[in-house]
């Protein structure tokens, strides 16, 4: 599904990840953020 347009939507997904990260970070701190950040860097690398 998403894999077909993954390369085209890479920047859009990256922006969405940042928005979700910032929103969740304001709500509460979670150790999962470390994994999310690592995943984001892996996707954009």
Query: Taking every pair of C-alpha atoms in the chain, what is the biggest distance, in angstroms?
Result: 34
Residue 31 has a pLDDT of 59
What are 41's two structure tokens?
């860097």
What are 44's two structure tokens?
């954009």
The structure's pTM equals 0.28
**Residues whose CB falls within 8 Å of the CB of residue 18, separated by 6 or more in sequence, listed in order:** 40
Residue 1 has a pLDDT of 45
Structural domain spans, the chain: 10-44
Note down pLDDT in tens along the chain; length 45 residues: 455 566 666 776 777 777 777 666 665 555 566 677 777 777 776
């Amino acid at each position: 599904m998403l894999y077909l347009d993954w390369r085209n939507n890479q920047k859009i997904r990256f922006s969405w990840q940042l928005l979700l990260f910032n929103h969740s970070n304001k709500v509460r701190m979670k150790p999962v953020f470390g994994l999310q950040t690592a995943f984001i860097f892996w996707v954009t690398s």
